[in-house]
Structure 1
Amino acid sequence: MAAVTTVITGATSGIGKETALALAKKGHGLYLLVRDVVRGDELARQLTEQTGNKEIYSIKCDLSDLHSVYTAAEKLKSKLFAVNVLINNAGGMFPQRELSKDGFEKTFAVNHLAHFALFHHLLPLLQKGQARVISLSSEAHRVGKIDLDGINSEKKYSLMRVYGMAKLFNIFFTKSVAEKYQDKGITAFAVHPGVVNTSFGTGTGGFTGFMLSLARPFMITAEQGAKTSVYLATQTGLHTKSGSYFKKCKVAGTSSAANDVTAREKLWQLSEELLKQHPPV
C-alpha cells in the first residue's frame, strides 16, 4: 500500500494530468475524481503503464452536482483509512451564465462550493492523514470583487468578474482551513500555477477570448504549471507556511481583498448554509 494517499480533482487534462503523473512517479496512491469515468479509467491505466504504479483509481465526481460530490466522498470513505493530500485542482470558466444542477452560478459552484463540500465530507479521512489541502487559485483573484449577496450573478454576468471572485474565494478557503484546522494537523495552501497553455478557457469569446489568444504563445506548459502543486504535495517542513498563497514554489503576496477576514468568515458561513440547504440524500 502506498505511503501517501492523494485525492485530486480535474486530473484528466492539463495541469491536473501532469500533477497526477508526477505524483504517480513518486509512488503516491492516487484517487482521481473525474466527471467522465471512461476518461478517468483510461488515464489511470496510462499512468500505471508509464510509472509502474498500480495504486491509481478513478471515481466519478461531477463538481456541478453536489450529490455527485457527496457520493464520491462516501466511496472514498468506504475504501480508505486516511487521505494525506487533497488537491482541489479542477476549475471552470464559463463564457455565458450557467447554473449547476443545484441552481448555483456554475463558476461559483465548480470552483468553490463543490470543493468546500468535498473537504467537509472527507474531513475524518483528512484528519487521520494529517492532510495537506492544496487549492488552485490564480492571479485572476486580483480582479475579484467580493459580492456575497450576488454569488449567482442574477443581475449581471461578467466572465472575469465571477472567475476572479471564485479564485479569491479559493484563497479565502485556504486561509480559513489553515486557521480552523491547524490543531487537527491539517495544513492548507493556495496555488497560482502560472499562465498555462491548456484547453482551459477554450470557447471564450469577447475581449477575454481575444486576450487569451494573444497570450497563448507566451504561456508555460502544463508540466511547468503543475510544479508548484507537486512541490506542495511532497515537500517537507511546510507546516509553518500553512494558509499561504504560492507561486513558482514560493510564498507570494495576494491582493488586499484576500486579507479581508470579515468577508472570509462570511463566505465560510454562507457556504455552510448553502450545503445545509442541499444535504446528502
Structure 2
Amino acid sequence: MNLVLTGSTSGIGWETLKALLPHFDHVFLPVRNLEKAKKMIHPLTEKHKIQLIPMDLSLMKSVQEGVQHILKSTDKVHVLINNAGGMYPGGKLTEEKLDLTFATNHLGHFLLTLELLPLLKNGQAKIINVSSEAHRLAASLNSDWGLRKAGNTINAYGKVKLYNILFTKELKRRYEDQGIQAYALHPGAVKTAFGSETSLIAKAIIRATQLLFISPKAGANTSIFLAMSPKDQLKNGGYFDKKKPKTPAAIALDPKPAEELWNYSLKTLQDLRPDSSE
C-alpha cells in the first residue's frame, strides 16, 4: 500500500510516520525543508520506503510541481493524510497573495487532494484531514472564505479547522460512490512548537494551557487508528476524537457551506492558474 503524509517532520506528523511506516510499501512525504527531512529520516530502519517530495503547501505553484513527482512514481495512493497546518498572524500573505492561514491549512491540501484524485480512486483510498476542536470557535461563516478580512489569529484558525471538516463532508458527497472515504479528526491539544509563528496574544494563550497538553505520540493516535482500521468499521465523512466518532459543531454538518467552500477554492485556484484542477 502507498501512503502520502504531509507535515511529517514535526509533532504528530513525525509520530504518525514512525507508526505507519512498517505497514506501507511506499511512503511519499511532501516536505518544505528537504535537508531537515533527510536528517530526520536517516535513522529510520525502513527509510528506503520513503520518497521525499519538495513541496510548500502555502504556495499552490509548489504543490503543483511537487505532486508531479508522485504522479510519476505510482498509479495508486491508498491513504492520504492531510496533517500539516499552522497558526499565523492574521493578514499575513503568501507570495501568491493568499492569506497564509487559509493557504497552509486548507487550499494547499485541497489542491494536493484534487491533483491526486486519479491515484486515490485507483487505490480506493482513505483521505484523513487533521482538524481540531478549535473549529467550534468559528460560530458563523460569511463570504470571506479566503480570510481576506480576518485580522484575528484565533478566529482565522477556527475557521480553517472548520474548513477541514467541511472539505471532508464534501469529499464524501462527491466521491463515496467511487470508493473513496474521507474522515476528519481532532488530535487533542498537543504539546509541540505549534503556534510559534503567531501573535503574542495567541502565544500567551497556548503557553498558559500547555500543562494540559498531551504528547505528540498521543496526539497521533487517532490519525493512526483511521489509517489502519478497515473502512467498513469507520463512518465515512465522520469527525473523530480519541479514535471515536464525535458530533462536530452544527455548522460543520450543513452541506451548503461545504459546497460553497469547494466552489470558492476551485475559483481561487483558477484565478491563480487558469488550467488548475476542477
Q: TM-score range by the shorter chain?
A: over 0.9
Matching residue of 1:262? 256
Matching residue of 2:48? 54
* 1:22 has 2:19 as partner: yes
Matched-pair identity in %? 37
Matching residue of 1:216? 210
* 1:13 has 2:7 as partner: no
Matching residue of 1:66? 60
What is the aligned counterpart of 1:110 among 100, 104, 109?
A: 104
The 1-side partners of 2:184 and 2:76 are apart by 22
Q: CA RMSD in A?
A: 1.7
Matching residue of 1:151? 145
* 1:197 has 2:194 as partner: no
| TM-fit CA distance, 1:28 | 4.5
| TM-fit CA distance, 1:274 | 1.1
TM-score, L = length of structure 1: 0.93
The 1-side partners of 2:142 and 2:123 are apart by 32
The 1-side partners of 2:239 and 2:232 are apart by 12
Matching residue of 1:86? 80
Q: Which amino acid aligns with 1:9?
A: T
* 1:45 has 2:42 as partner: yes
Q: Which runs of 4+ in 1 moved over 3 A?
A: 145-148, 151-156, 203-207, 237-240
Matching residue of 2:29? 32
Residues 267/157 of structure 1: CA separation in 2 closer, same or farther (3 Å cut) = same
> Which residues of structure 2 form unaligned runs of 5+?
none
| TM-fit CA distance, 1:156 | 4.5
TM-score, L = length of structure 2: 0.94
The 1-side partners of 2:226 and 2:121 are apart by 18
Indicate conservation of the 8 Å contact 2:150/2:156, yes or no.
no
Indicate conservation of the 8 Å contact 1:29/1:56, yes or no.
yes
Residues 272/205 of structure 1: CA separation in 2 closer, same or farther (3 Å cut) = closer
Q: Which amino acid aligns with 2:76?
A: A
Number of aligned pairs?
275
Q: What whole-Å deviation, never above 9, does each CA across 1:10-63 have from its counterpart, x for those lacking one?
A: 10100100000000133442111100111122233232x3xx352112111101
Q: Which amino acid aligns with 1:78?
A: K
Indicate conservation of the 8 Å contact 2:192/2:216, yes or no.
yes
Q: Which amino acid aligns with 2:213?
A: M
